[in-house]
A and B are shown apart, each in its own frame.
Chain A
Amino acid sequence: MHDAKAIPFTRRKRWSKATLTPWIFLSPALLIIMIFVILPTIAGVVISFLRYDAISPVEFIGLQNYKLVFQDQLFYKSMWITFLFAFGSLLPTVFISLVLAVLLNQKWFPFVNLFRAVYFLPTVVSMVAVSFVWLWLFNPQLGPINPLLSAFGISAQQFLGDSSQALAILILINIWKSIGFNLVIYLAGLQGIDNSLYEAARIDGASPLQSFRFITWPMLTPVTFFVVAMLIINGFQVFDQINIMTGGGPARSTYAIVFYIYQKGFSETNFGYASVLAVMLFIVILVLTLAYHRINARLER
């Protein structure tokens, strides 16, 4: 901000150079983001108004694709499945990460760094690789989970082969994969809270639960906002594990929206229709994020 003023005696000579400098630093990254994010997004919206498939010539058809999408049962179904996936993962992930973070933040807790690393491990590895591992763990004939269940007197399950269980299992895996990241973010948030607040509360005779309710939770509001927003945005874009573990099945019970977009776009090469689905996904993410932002702003006041 005051950098330009720091060179008063050469100011007139340097003025044009000084205005140019930030743009030189900025332009390579902006160019990439322009080419690979902003222009494609605009192009995606344009394509959604076209008939663009492998069969007929490309032509402008206005809102025709949108009309079809709104009558498409599979669109509603896939949106609903995506919604269930994102929000089904949300509460357990936030709850578990927060409780773990509060525990690991206690002075008496042993091996904090070790535990943090172990819980964080699933976050860093490839979703594709761990999808295979989970597929193999949940294998109904050869995996170790059915024998484990039978030890508790539960009969053999089909797991991912059962349309009433597949989505729940995907949610479970998603929670497993997400805890570490959110735990670390909560832990950093907790370390930012001034210790004297807790001491004051203790002197006033507050119980640990009370100091959580009236100090920790409110102080963590911005962290929780970030955590929830990221979980929603990522949850709505679930794809890798579905493509590998279920292929959208059984009976389309895990047919999430991005999987549908991929099928329409790259299996059926119907770019127009796939683009409408992608635009709808964008709108849903945008509306959810903005709505959540407003609710959060109101709560903070």
Chain B
Amino acid sequence: MVKNAEWIGRICLIIIVVIGAFTMLVPFIWMISTSLKADSEVFTFPPTWIPEILQWANYEKAFNVANFGRIFFNSFYVAIVTTILGLLLNSMAGYAFAKFNFWGRDVIFILLLATMMIPFQITMIPIYMLFREFELLNSYTGLIAPNIATAFGIFLMRQFMKGIPSELMAAARIDGSGEMRIFFQIVLPIMKAPLAALGIFTFMFSWNNYFLPLVIITDESYKTLPLLISSLSSGLYVQSWPLVMAAATIATLPIIILFFVAQRYFIEGMALTGIK
């Protein structure tokens, strides 16, 4: 039996957590609320939280700004390709580290982990110059290539693949399966959950990435959503808060949907990066 005093304490704690959760949501509520307001309603004082008349047309307007459709497609295309190639490359490398014994393995692995401390900014200028040289500024390749293999991704895959029993592969080898076949038909199917987790991280990172496109993209037709949103404010287009908030909602919505659909993988994957 739990004492009354203990219950009162518990209810107070729950209330604090609820208030905190509400605080986390306030910016999202404000974003969606503004995105549905008329331009004039923005100037009412005190500010309203529920729009008088829901202006769904703001979303239509946002889609008509610049070539929003094209930019949305760019973000999507870059994120999808980065994710697919990233899953392939990182899981292959993780497999090599987890399941093979080769010369220099541990040293290479530690060096790889050390690269996580290298700030992106130190590599940015040389990457910019490289892309200028090979005419990859304003290209999909430029947006995708630097992000398809990461120390983090390889590390995550290695951690999971260490758990696969080696006997499984040994048996397949005796049966005469080739190494590639073992990897694609035996190893990868067991790795569905971690692949989902890494895939979601990669998609999220690519979709939200700002610094790389900011530096290498100037051509309107290769811009991604974060670049478009940041340009909405700089006087390039009409400055309208409902419009900017509608664009921000469109940019965050796919990630939020992805998060709720695949929440389990998302959170488990995040959690596993921390403990091992």
Contacts and interface: CB of A to CB of B under 8 A. Distances in A.
B42 A44 contact: no
A137 to B, nearest CB: 6
Contacts of A121: 24-25, 28, 256, 259
A77 to B, nearest CB: 18
B4 interface: no
Given A109-B14, A258-B119, A274-B125, A185 B274 contact: yes
B169 A22 contact: no
Contacts of A222: 275
A33 B179 CA distance: 24
Nearest to B105: A22
Contacts of A289: 117
B34 A136 contact: yes
A6 B166 contact: yes
A143 B99 CA distance: 56
A236 interface: yes
B255 A125 contact: yes
Given A6-B170, A136-B245, A117 B122 contact: no
Given A7-B174, A185-B274, A124 B256 contact: yes
A40 B123 contact: yes
B230 interface: yes
Interface size class of A (residues with CB under 8 A): 35 or more
A126 B225 contact: yes
Given A25-B95, A188-B275, A227-B274, A32 B148 contact: yes
B129 to A, nearest CB: 8
A152 to B, nearest CB: 14
Given A1-B101, A132-B245, A286 B123 contact: no
Contact of A40 (B112, B130, B245): B130
A38 B20 CA distance: 42
Contacts of A185: 270-271, 273-275
Interface in A116-131: 116-122, 124-130
Interface string B32-53: 0010000000110111010000
Contact of A226 (B14, B103, B274): B274
Given A40-B127, A282-B122, A189 B21 contact: no
Interface string B90-130: 10110111011111010010001001111111111111111
A38 B89 contact: no
Contacts of A120: 259, 266-267
Contacts of A239: 210-211
Contacts of B30: 133, 136-137, 144
Interface stretch (A87-95, A161-169, A176-184, A197-205): A176-184
B154 interface: yes
Contacts of A44: 122-123, 125-126
B194 interface: no
B114 to A, nearest CB: 9
Contact of A176 (B24, B119, B204): B24
B273 A126 contact: no
B184 to A, nearest CB: 11
A297 interface: no
A29 B207 contact: no
Contact of B118 (A187, A261, A265, A282): A282
A47 B125 contact: yes
Scoring B13, B45, B47, B125 by chain A CB atoms within 10 A of each residue's CB, the highest score goes to: B125
B173 interface: yes
A170 to B, nearest CB: 14
A2 B179 contact: no
Nearest to A240: B210
B181 interface: no
A30 interface: yes
Nearest to B148: A32
B122 A122 contact: no
A132 B275 contact: no
5 contacts: A7-B174, A35-B130, A142-B47, A278-B124, A282-B119
Given A142-B47, A144-B49, A237-B121, 20 more contacts: A3-B101, A26-B93, A28-B89, A32-B89, A40-B125, A44-B123, A100-B20, A118-B21, A128-B210, A133-B27, A136-B34, A136-B244, A176-B24, A185-B275, A188-B271, A192-B275, A226-B274, A239-B211, A282-B117, A285-B117
Top 3 A-B residue pairs of the complex, sorted by shortest distance between their CB atoms: A188-B271, A6-B170, A185-B274
